[in-house]
């Protein structure tokens, strides 16, 4: 069974949301780089924009509208990011 290009984009966004959350959680724990929601959100937006260009380069010729590559999975990305960031932050800061 082969996935459609927009399905691949969608699930890639889920994975990139988890990756961005891990970056934010590790940055918070080690160097306090993202010490606020705004700092973490900035990192999540930067990761989203960078991955947009990678996904656009891969799938722009395979979808009907090029704008669909940008909008597919945007809500899922940010929901996954906030849930995963909360989970990773909690796990990294458990009392020993």
pLDDT tens-digit map of 16-29: 999 999 988 887 66
* Percent of the chain scoring above 90 in pLDDT: 59
Query: What is the rounded distance in angstroms from the CA atom of residue 87 to the CA atom of residue 24?
Result: 11
Number of domains composing the chain: 1
User: For residue 11, is pLDDT > 80?
Assistant: yes
> Quick check: is 33 in a domain?
yes
CA nearest neighbour of 47 among 17, 85, 7, 71: 17
Per-residue confidence band for 34, with pLDDT thresholds at 50, 70 and 90? low
pTM, two decimal places:
0.87
> Quick check: is 36 in a domain?
yes
> Quick check: is 6 in a domain?
no
- Beta-carbon contacts of residue 79 (< 8 Å; ≥ 6 apart): 17
> Quick check: is 38 in a domain?
yes
Domain that holds residue 81: 21-90
pLDDT tens-digit map of 41-68: 888 999 999 999 999 999 988 898 988 9
């Amino acid at each position: 069974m082969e996935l459609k290009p927009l399905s691949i984009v969608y699930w890639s966004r889920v994975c990139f949301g988890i990756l961005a959350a891990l970056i934010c959680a590790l940055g918070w724990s080690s160097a306090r780089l993202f010490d606020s929601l705004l700092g973490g959100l900035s990192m999540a937006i930067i990761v989203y924009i960078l991955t947009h260009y990678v996904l656009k380069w891969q799938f722009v010729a395979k979808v009907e509208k090029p704008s669909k590559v940008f909008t597919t999975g945007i809500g899922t990305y940010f929901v996954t990011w906030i849930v995963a960031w909360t989970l990773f932050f909690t796990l990294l800061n458990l009392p020993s």
